[in-house]
C-alpha cells in the first residue's frame, strides 16, 4: 500500500490550487451575490483543462483518471466553499464522461468540444416533481419511437444547470421510460438540448445556496429528437445513470473534503488570534477537542474518497473491481463528506461568534452550499445508506425487491 502522490498528481494539484486560490477564491462572495459564475472564470478553467477533464482529448478534454479529477474537485472546493464552481465542475466531469462513453459520435462531436471549452453545459435530468429517490415509482417521462426519431413528454425538476444550458446551449442527459412493463430495465437515456428547443419550457427555482449555478426544471412537450440523441442502448438508461451518479458522488466527496479543509483552516487562524478571558481561544480544550475530532473526520473522509477514486481507476483502466464495488465506495464517500463538511463549518461558525452569522465571513456560504449535498443532490443520505445496507444484507431485504 502506498499513500504517496505521484509527481504528476502533485503538479496537477499545485496548478489547480494556485489558479483557484488566485482567480476563484477572491470572487466567491461576488459569485454568491450575483448568482452567476463570471464567464472569464469559465474561460480560464477551460484553458487549464478544468471543464470535464475526464472527457477524452479528441473531444477537447484531457482524459484524466478519477484520482486526478478528484484532486481538482478538492482544490475547487477549497477555493469556492459556496460550491457553485465545484458543482459546475463535477456535474460536467461526471456526465460529460458518460456522454463520451456511451453517446453517438454525432452528439459527442456536436457537444463535448463545446462543453470542454466552456461554450455549452452538460447536465443530468432524472428527478421529477413526483420524486428522485424512487426512480422506478416516480419517473414518468416517456420516450416513444416515431420512425428514426424519439418523442419525449414529461417534466424534470430540481435539475442543476438548466439556466446555463438554456443560455449557453448543451445537453441534459435525461432519463425516460421506453418500456413501462420492465421496471428499472425499461428506462433509456437521451441527450436533450434545452436551448432553442421548441418543446422545452424551463423554470427556475430560488435555492438557499451554491447561488452561482442554477437549479430548476423543464417541461418536455412532444420534444422531437433524432435517433442519434439516444445514449447507448435502448432500455439501458438506468445503468448509465447509476454509473454517472457513482462518479459524481466521488467528486462530491472530494469537493466537500476541500471545502471542509478550507473551513477548518479558516477556523484555526481565527482561534489562534481571537482572545477570550485573557487567552487565545485555541488554548482552551473546549475548542481543541472538537478541532481534533473534525480534523480526524476530514482525514477519514479524504481517505474514503480517494479510495473510491482508486477503485474507479482500477475498474476503468485495469478491469479490476465492478460497478457494484464503485457504487458502494462512492456511496460511503457521499454519505460522509457532506455531513462532516457541514459539521466542521457549523463548528467554525461557533468559533467566530456573532461574526459567524454574518456575510462578512465565507462560512455561511459554505453551510448553505454543502447542505445541498446532505439534503440530496445526486442522491439522499438514506439512499446512500440503502446502497450500503443492500450490500450487507442482500437485495431480498430491500423494501422494494424489483
- The residues of the shown chain that bind ligand FAD, judged by CB under 6 A, are 123-127, 131-133, 158-160, 207, 215, 372, 375-380, 382-383, 399
CA 356 to chain centre: 26
Q: Which three three-digit cell numbers place residue 235?
A: 432500455
CA distance 163 to 195: 9
> Beta strands 170-177 and 187-193: pairing type?
antiparallel
Helices 285-318 and 66-79, axial angle in degrees (round to 10)? 150
**Residue (of 154, 127, 159, 174) closest to 220 by Cα position:** 154
Give how far the C-alpha of residue 19 lies from the chain's centroid of Cα atoms, to the nearest Å. Answer: 20
What's the grid cell of residue 187? 428506462
Could you give the residue ranges of the DSSP H alpha helices within 125-236?
A: 135-138, 162-168
Give the active site residue among 8, 318, 378, 396. 378
CB-CB contact of 251 with 259 (8 Å): no
Say whether 110 is catalytic: no
DSSP output for 246-278: HHHHHHHHHHHHHHHHHHHHHHHHHHHH-EETT
| 23 in Cβ contact with 44 (< 8 Å) | yes
400: nearest Cα among 135, 174, 176: 135
> Taking a C-beta distance cutoff of 8 angstroms, is the pair 177, 139 a contact?
yes
Q: How far is the CB of 312 from ligand FAD (least distance, A)?
A: 20
Name residues whose C-beta falls within 8 Å of residue 53's C-beta, 6 or more positions apart in sequence. Answer: 61, 62, 63, 64, 68, 69, 72, 93
What are the cell numbers at 212?
Answer: 452561482
- Count the Cβ atoms, other than its own, within 10 Å of residue 234: 15
Judged by DSSP in three states, 220 sits in strand
Place of cell 456536436: 110
* Contact between residue 303 and residue 292 where contact means Cβ atoms under 8 Å apart: no
Which residues are registered as beta bridge partners of 125?
A: 174
Helices (H) and strands (E) in the chain, counts: 13, 10
| Beta strand segments in 97-164, E | 121-125, 142-146, 149-160
Query: Which residues are part of the catalytic machinery?
Result: 378
Amino acid at each position: 500500500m502506498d499513500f504517496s502522490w505521484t509527481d504528476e498528481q502533485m503538479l496537477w494539484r499545485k496548478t489547480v490550487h494556485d489558479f483557484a486560490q488566485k482567480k476563484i477564491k477572491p470572487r466567491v462572495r461576488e459569485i454568491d451575490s450575483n448568482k452567476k459564475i463570471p464567464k472569464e472564470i469559465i474561460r480560464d478553467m477551460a484553458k487549464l483543462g478544468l471543464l470535464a477533464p475526464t472527457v477524452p482529448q479528441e473531444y477537447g478534454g484531457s482524459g484524466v483518471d478519477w484520482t486526478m479529477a478528484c484532486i481538482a474537485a478538492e482544490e475547487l472546493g477549497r477555493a469556492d466553499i459556496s460550491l457553485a464552481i465545484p458543482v459546475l465542475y463535477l456535474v460536467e466531469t461526471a456526465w460529460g464522461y458518460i456522454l463520451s462513453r456511451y453517446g453517438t459520435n454525432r452528439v459527442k462531436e456536436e457537444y463535448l468540444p463545446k462543453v470542454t471549452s466552456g461554450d455549452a453545459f452538460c447536465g443530468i435530468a432524472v428527478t421529477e416533481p413526483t420524486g428522485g429517490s424512487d426512480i422506478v415509482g416516480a419517473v414518468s417521462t416517456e420516450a416513444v419511437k416515431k420512425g428514426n426519431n424519439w418523442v419525449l413528454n414529461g417534466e424534470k425538476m430540481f435539475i442543476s444547470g438548466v439556466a446555463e444550458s438554456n443560455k449557453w446551449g448543451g445537453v441534459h442527459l435525461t432519463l425516460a421510460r421506453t418500456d413501462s412493463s420492465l421496471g428499472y430495465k425499461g428506462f433509456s437515456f437521451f441527450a436533450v438540448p434545452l436551448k432553442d428547443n421548441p418543446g422545452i419550457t424551463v423554470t427556475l427555482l430560488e435555492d438557499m445556496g451554491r447561488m452561482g449555478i442554477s437549479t430548476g426544471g423543464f417541461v418536455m412537450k412532444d420534444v422531437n429528437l433524432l435517433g442519434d440523441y439516444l445514449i447507448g442502448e435502448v432500455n439501458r438508461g438506468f445503468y448509465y445513470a447509476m454509473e454517472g451518479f457513482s462518479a459524481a458522488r466521488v467528486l462530491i466527496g472530494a469537493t466537500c473534503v476541500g471545502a471542509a479543509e478550507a473551513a477548518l483552516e479558516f477556523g484555526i487562524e481565527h482561534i489562534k488570534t481571537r482572545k477570550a478571558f485573557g487567552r487565545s481561544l485555541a488554548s482552551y480544550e473546549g475548542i481543541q477537542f472538537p478541532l481534533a475530532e473534525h480534523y480526524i473526520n476530514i482525514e477519514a473522509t479524504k481517505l474514503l474518497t480517494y479510495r473510491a477514486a482508486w477503485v474507479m481507476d482500477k475498474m476503468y483502466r485495469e478491469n479490476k473491481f465492478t460497478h457494484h464495488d464503485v457504487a458502494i465506495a462512492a456511496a460511503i464517500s457521499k454519505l460522509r463528506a457532506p455531513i462532516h463538511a457541514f459539521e466542521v463549518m457549523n463548528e467554525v461558525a461557533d468559533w467566530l461568534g456573532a461574526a459567524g452569522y454574518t456575510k462578512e465571513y465565507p462560512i455561511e456560504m459554505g453551510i448553505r452550499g454543502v447542505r445541498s449535498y446532505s439534503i440530496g443532490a445526486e442522491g439522499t443520505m438514506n439512499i446512500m445508506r440503502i446502497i450500503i445496507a443492500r450490500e450487507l444484507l442482500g437485495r431480498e431485504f430491500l423494501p422494494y425487491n424489483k
